[in-house]
Amino acid sequence: MSIVSTSLSRIKASPTVAITQKARELKEQGKEVITLSSGEPDFDTPDNIKQAAIKAINKGDTKYTAVDGTPDLKKAIVQKFKRENNLEFKTENITVGTGGKQVIYNCILATVNPGDEVIIPSPFWVSYPDIVLLAGGVPKIVECGEKYNFKINGELLEKAITKKTKWFILNSPGNPTGMCYLRSELTDIVKVLKKHPHVYILTDDIYEHIFYEEDNRSNDDKFINILEVAEDLRNRTVIVNGVSKSYSMTGWRIGYGAASKEIIQAVSKLQSQSTTNPSSISQAAAVEALNGTQSFIKERSAEFKKRRDYVVKELNSIKGLSCVNPKGAFYVFPSCKNTMGKKTVAGTIIKTDTDFVSNLLDQEGVAVVQGSAFGLEGYFRISYATSMNELQKAILKIRKFCESLS
């Protein structure tokens, strides 16, 4: 009999980590590999944030802190919500965890009973279904394909809700598609949620600051949180956010959540028996990230936007591929459906997006992630959080691969 528990056997290791690992192995064998599979900004953490961490170390901020965050960081988070989202919270509504992922994990583990359903629109961030499974819940995947612009709408949501629905997870800007919900789309979703008061909402806003203002600006050209559309959903909504993506701080592991006091206390109880508090030094750095200059966000977004424009234009000119133009995150999600049934130079027939991705890696040394890992077949995800130079090389190789198919 295996030592592995039955709940752990229900989940898989993160597929995005798996492809990055395969790329690393090829590199170690001396092959040139361009990695477009990882979900982190290539920019370094801004210097003012690093300095705040150094100061904290020198000052002796090296001990346990309050389980769910230092008072300073909680205050900075409250101010962030007021300043950027026009939402009022008290510090008792805030929890800080070791990355946004831990906040989501805690929240689901602390609230889901066996058999409870969690609605997850697909394509989705790979961790949502597995976290739900670990909690003994049932991921209820709602396919939101390209014809829906990869977004759920009121009608699809209504069909998915049952008496057993506990949570509905919303992610905007979204991983893996980069799509963002507009005010009108959130209004449509809110109408349905108001009819079903037993459904809780988890909104994952981790990519909030990677959101592009287009040249022809409209009222929709601003990130919007579901509570800005319907403040009355507040008691059953958890906002998850963090500093990982916004401030290039993935390795520092600080994420946070805002919710009712009841949920925050449950999350804190769980965290007190696992990781205790997030790193004291990282929390001091996160205070500076939130309270200090925000110029980094604008400068970095402008650079990401240039890359998005380049990548989307090029992908759409490659035989067999097509790509919608997303408004945020640092991902694009092109279709490779038109390459299905074609033969590679090595003689393999491409039957699935996984075949496409693994042959692209073997033949041209470009690492991307298959759409099926995110719950939607026929696509692949490119992370353009890498230099323009690398992107140009990668695009040439993707073009060469697609043109070599017969």
Q: Which is nearer to ligand PLP, 18 or 340 (CB)?
A: 18
CA geometry: angle 164, 255, 143, nearest 5 deg: 40
Residue number with CB closer to ligand PLP (118 or 405):
118
In whole angstroms, what is the distance from residue 305 CA to residue 267 CA? 36
Q: Which is nearer to ligand PLP, 104 or 366 (CB)?
A: 104
Contact 150, 123 (CB under 8 A): yes
**In the complex with ligand PLP, which residue's Cβ is closer, 101 or 305?**
101
Tell me how far, at minimum, the Cβ of 254 lies from ligand PLP, in Å.
7
Q: How far is the CB of 67 from ligand PLP (least distance, A)?
A: 18
CA–CA gap between residue 65 and residue 72 (Å, rounded): 11
- Give the residue at shortest CB distance from ligand PLP: 99
Q: Residue type for 28, please?
A: E
CB of 344 to ligand PLP, least distance (A): 30
Helix ranges (DSSP H) in 41-150? 47-59, 71-85, 100-111, 127-134
How many other CB atoms sit within 10 Å of the CB of residue 235?
Answer: 12
Query: In this structure, are residues 128 and 11 in contact, taking their beta carbons and an 8 Å threshold?
Result: no
CA 280/CA 162 separation, integer angstroms = 42
Q: What are the tokens at 68? A: 């769910």
- Phi/psi at 261 (5° precision): -60, -35
Give the shortest CB-341-to-ligand PLP separation in angstroms: 32
Nearer to ligand PLP, 124 or 401 (CB): 124
C-alpha–C-alpha distance, residues 318 and 394, integer Å: 13
Tokens of 164: 């057993």
Residues in contact with ligand PLP by CB under 6 A are 39, 99-101, 125, 171, 175, 204, 206, 242, 244, 250, 255
Residue 23 to residue 364: CA distance in whole angstroms? 12
CB of 251 to ligand PLP, least distance (A): 9
Closest contact distance (angstroms) between CB of 243 and ligand PLP is 8
Alpha carbons 43 and 46: distance in angstroms, whole number: 8
Q: Which helix (H) or strand (E) holds 226?
A: helix 226-229
| CB of 101 or CB of 140, closer to ligand PLP | 101
> What is the residue-wise DSSP string for 145-194?
-GGGTT---HHHHHHH--TTEEEEEEESS-TTT-----HHHHHHHHHHHH
- Between 242 and 378, whose beta carbon lies closer to ligand PLP? 242
- Whichever of 97 and 320 has its CB closer to ligand PLP, that residue is 97
**Minimal distance, residue 210 CB to ligand PLP, in Å:** 11
Q: Is the bond into 173 cis (omega within 30 degrees of 0)? A: yes
Rg of the Cα atoms in the chain: 21
Q: Given the complex with ligand PLP, which of 69 and 255 has the nearer CB atom?
A: 255
| Residue 204: CB minimum distance to ligand PLP, A | 5
Smallest distance, ligand PLP to C-beta of residue 323, A: 19
